[in-house]
Amino acid sequence: MERTIVNPPGLQPPRGFSHGIVTRGGRLLFLAGQDASDPSGRIVGPGDLVAQFAQVLRNLKAVTEEAGGSLRDVVKLNIFVRDRRDYLGKAKPLGQIFRTYFGGHYPAMALFEVSGFVHEDALVELEGVAVLASE
């Protein structure tokens, strides 16, 4: 599978994301929205965005690995948060957690503030697309 990062010089330089990614070959994995649920369905870290973000990435990692890939195969992520200001205020610890899972790989991303999630205690949910190597 080939992957080419697209960051045009005429756009603001991206920080923590890529403007676009072109792929060739591979299989598509569509990642359902993952919140901070543990295996029993309870939200990890109620009231703690950083703890929930870490659990969300663990959940995404589990899905991509079960499909035969890794988080570095993710090409698109949508981040949904209950409180955008809280998310931006915690950008540094959230970025550290992100790099723990993704290394220096930055998918194309978007951030959305939403009024709520299925689980009342959820503060963040991520969904996206990965391109896995062909079988």
Identify the CA nearest to 19 among candidates 29, 30, 34, 9: 9
Residues 6+ apart with CB under 8 A from 105: 71, 72, 74
| Domain assignments of the chain as residue spans, ordered by start | 2-8+27-132
Q: How much is the pLDDT for 134?
A: 86
- pTM assigned to the model: 0.92
Give the model confidence (pLDDT) of 57-93 as tens digits: 999 999 999 999 999 999 999 999 999 999 999 999 9
Helix (H, G, I), strand (E, B) or coil at 92: helix
Q: How much is the pLDDT for 91?
A: 97
Q: Residue 57 and residue 105: Cα distance in Å, rounded?
A: 14
Second-level CATH architecture of 2-8+27-132: 2-Layer Sandwich (3.30)
Q: How much is the pLDDT for 108?
A: 96
Q: How much is the pLDDT for 135?
A: 74
Q: Give a three-class secondary structure readout of 22-78.
A: EEECCEEEEEEEECCECCCCCECCCCCHHHHHHHHHHHHHHHHHHCCCCHHHEEEEE
Give the residue ranges of the chain where pLDDT is below 50.
Answer: none
> Any idea which residue has 């205690």 for tokens?
121
